[in-house]
Amino acid sequence: MAEILLTIFFISVLLFFLGSGVWVAISMIGVSSIGMMLFTTRPVGDAMATTIWGASSSWTLTALPLFVWMGEILFRTKLSENLFEGLSPWMQKLPGGLIHVNVVGCALFAAISGSSAATVATVGKMSIPELRKRNYPEKILLGSLAGSGTLGLLIPPSIILIIYGVTVQESIAKLFVAGIIPGIMIALIFMGYVIIWSLCNKKEMPSIINQYSFIDKIKKSGQLIPVIILILSVIGSIYTGIATATEAASLGVVGALILSYFQKSLSWSNFKSSLLGATKTSCMISFILAGSAFLSLAMGFTGLPRNLALWINSLELSPYILIFVLMLFYIVLGMFLDGISAVVLTMAIIEPMIRQAGFDMIWFGIFLVVVVEMAQITPPVGFNLFVLQGMAKKDMGFIARSAFPLFLLMIFATIILIIFPEIVMWLPEQMIQKIN
């Protein structure tokens, strides 16, 4: 009972800070300070200083700003145009036509971005006006884009997987590799939905206008080849053990700069704005991680995570029920917090439960990211919905309703991952064998 009351206390104080408009990182530091002053005898200032320094000086974290910068560089190139022009000849004859460009384009950009909002913005920048010009239905156009944009969190290099790996002290490389097959699976599920929807709504779908020969398709896709080579180089170097996540990120930044230079989009102003954008994002995330580390310490001193884990263990919940409860918890939490904040705020309490239940932390990381992905398309704080609202000039409710079927499909994908954990674990296991 004491654990429940303590949990309610911490959550109440945290919600008070967040509701007052205080930054997430400062809210976590505030809650931690109050908790340590009330329930421990350890000096708050000393504990805060040493913990924040230890959390921010991790070598693993160096991959974070590099991957963010890589995405920022490519965001300012002609990549959105190249994605549409390169993919449309191959996709137009499929049932659903050019709507598939949204799904495949998001999957490709996700492999160089790591951000859900950036993925939606980049692909949508070109696809929304082009698909509207061809009279594609707004519902499937915006719904597929909102849903597919969430792949930016899962397909490596994923910013949120780096944060999760640092928080629970798991291999970033393994997490990256583990996200590949689930990411492809979800993309295929989305494409299947587009096909079924278009077959059920044939009258609303426009007819194919352009005809391309195989040679024409290859020529149109020429601009995408360097991007695909960059993706394969980054992911391949991690998978084969040639490079660590940080080294692969450095390779990605150099490749992005070279690609940008040859596309004649590497101006001095673009270079500065990409560097500034990466700096702002990285500082924000690092500040949240510092707050999270202090919160974890405060929780540890109060004994809350251990006692809560023991209490949950005493309930004798089956692992599947525990996972189901956590899935609902993160879906609700994601309605009010962004994905990064949701992960770092809760891992101090959730991690002991998961380890106690016997789940692999690599598998749980992918499960968590897929569940957090759902939060990107759920109101009132669905980042993808906000991005699309600004780009498409449509009502938030309409976009949310359009994305709802894809939300259900992501629940379906999560159930598949729970039933068949091998989908997540197969590639990391192969990577370990390959390295050994």
339-385 residue pLDDT tens? 777 787 778 778 877 887 888 999 999 999 999 888 778 776 677 77
Q: Which one, of 226, 250, 227, 228, lies nearest residue 238 by Cα?
A: 250
- What is the model's pLDDT at position 191? 93
- What is the model's pLDDT at position 345? 73
Per-residue confidence of the chain (436 residues) as pLDDT tens digits? 565 676 677 777 777 776 777 777 788 788 888 878 877 777 888 778 887 777 676 676 777 788 888 878 877 777 767 777 888 888 888 888 889 988 998 888 888 776 777 788 878 887 888 888 888 898 999 999 988 888 888 888 888 888 888 888 888 889 989 999 999 999 999 999 999 999 998 888 887 666 777 787 777 777 778 888 888 888 888 877 788 878 888 888 898 888 888 878 888 888 898 899 888 878 877 787 787 778 777 777 766 666 666 666 677 778 888 888 888 888 877 776 667 777 877 787 788 778 878 889 999 999 999 998 887 787 766 777 777 887 788 887 888 888 899 999 999 999 999 999 999 999 888 876 655 5
| Rg (the chain; Cα; Å) | 22
- What is the model's pLDDT at position 182? 93
- What is the model's pLDDT at position 163? 84
8 A C-beta contact, residue 369 and residue 157 = no
Domain edges within the chain: 60-435
Helices (H), 22-115: 24-39, 44-56, 63-75, 79-91, 99-113
C-alpha 122 chain-centroid distance: 15
Checking phi first, is residue 45 left (phi over 0); if not, alpha (psi -120 to 50) or beta? Answer: alpha
- The pTM score is 0.80
Tokens found for residue 4: 């429940």
